[in-house]
Amino acid sequence: MQKYVETNNINNSQVRVFSEGLPAYELDSNAKKIRQLGLENDGKARQLARYVKETGERYVDNLQVMMIYRNDRFLRAGDHTPYVINGYAAIRITEMNENYYHQHQDVRKENNIQYGDLPQYMDFEYLRKNTCLNLSNLANLAKAPAMPQDVKIDVKQLGNFTNMHWAPPKTGKPKGYFVLARETTSAVWQKKIFTAETNIVLPYSKDNYFFAVQSVNETGNESLPVVPDAER
């Protein structure tokens, strides 16, 4: 039998963001829509994960946000999970390579190995960067207008263009909106198109891309994206 060996790889330039795919909340009532529109990777948690990646990498130098397509790690239960279960957008942010000598361990020395969560094993520069990741996202969301309402994509007609429309957010004063687009195999948004209107016609086929809309204010703070419902 092969013995497990702790690698102790140190990586302070990456951080993981875990997010659920299919929603834990009311999946039965939403399963038909998710299947018809191919939205397995566009739930609330997955949208928040993309937002955290874009915003964090914008403001924090030398920190790459790695999206993990799982709600959490094996044998773990993060504090975000009860929120996910009740339908809130929630994710888990955690270090890239965990050192299991220094977590879930009593402080002790065994076989010349020091176990336990002790200050000398803390990377305070890594902590600073991850704190900045959290703060930049919280600040951006706090300053942003609310999300646009009633976002729709017109699927009543065939064509190689995409027609979308929406209503202004309930709170906040947006300067306009970003319409986001990505190829169906892309993990992140690839196009970000600004408009001051509440409708847009895009020269991209609705069959080939996923879309979303987010509100943006005068200082460039964006709301979370809203994936459109199909208007038939």
Give pLDDT tens digits for 93-109: 999 998 899 988 999 99
pLDDT at 213 over 90: yes
Please check the confidence at residue 7 and state whether its pLDDT lies above 60. Answer: no
Instruction: Answer whether residue 5 shows pLDDT above 70.
Output: no
Q: How far apart are CA 126 and CA 131, in angstroms?
A: 9
- Percent over 90 (pLDDT), the chain: 85
Q: What is the pLDDT of residue 187?
A: 96
Segment holding 140, helix H or strand E: helix 124-143
Mean pLDDT confidence for 181-202: 97
**pLDDT tens digits, one per residue of 37-89:** 999 999 999 999 999 999 999 999 999 999 999 999 999 889 999 999 999 99
DSSP summary character for residue 121: G
Query: In which order are the strands placed within the sheet that holds 64-68?
Result: 64-68, 14-18, 92-95
pLDDT band at 11 (very low <50, low <70, confident <90, very high): confident
CB 24 within 8 A of CB 84: yes
Task: Answer for the pair 44, 20: CB distance below 8 angstroms, yes or no.
Answer: no
> In the predicted model, is pLDDT for residue 182 greater than 80?
yes
pLDDT value at residue 10 = 73
Q: Does residue 123 surpass a pLDDT of 60?
A: yes
Q: Give one DSSP letter per residue of 18-45, joined into a string.
A: E--SS-SSSHHHHHHHHHHHT-TT-SHH
Angstrom CA distances, 16 to 31, 70, 174, stand at 27, 11, 31
Report the pLDDT value the prediction gives residue 43, as an integer from 0 to 100: 94
Strands (E) in the chain, as ranges, are 14-18, 64-68, 92-95, 108-110, 113-115, 149-154, 162-167, 176-183, 191-195, 199-202, 209-216, 229-231
Q: Output the six-digit token pair for 165.
A: 């429309």
Q: Give the model confidence (pLDDT) of 138-179 as tens digits.
A: 999 999 999 999 999 999 989 999 999 999 999 999 999 999
Spans of all domains in the chain: 14-143, 149-231
pLDDT value of position 222: 98
Residue bearing tokens 């990456």: 14
Is CATH 3.10.180.10 what the domain over 149-231 is classified as, yes or no?
no
State residue 8's pLDDT score.
Answer: 62
Helix, strand, or coil (residue 116): coil
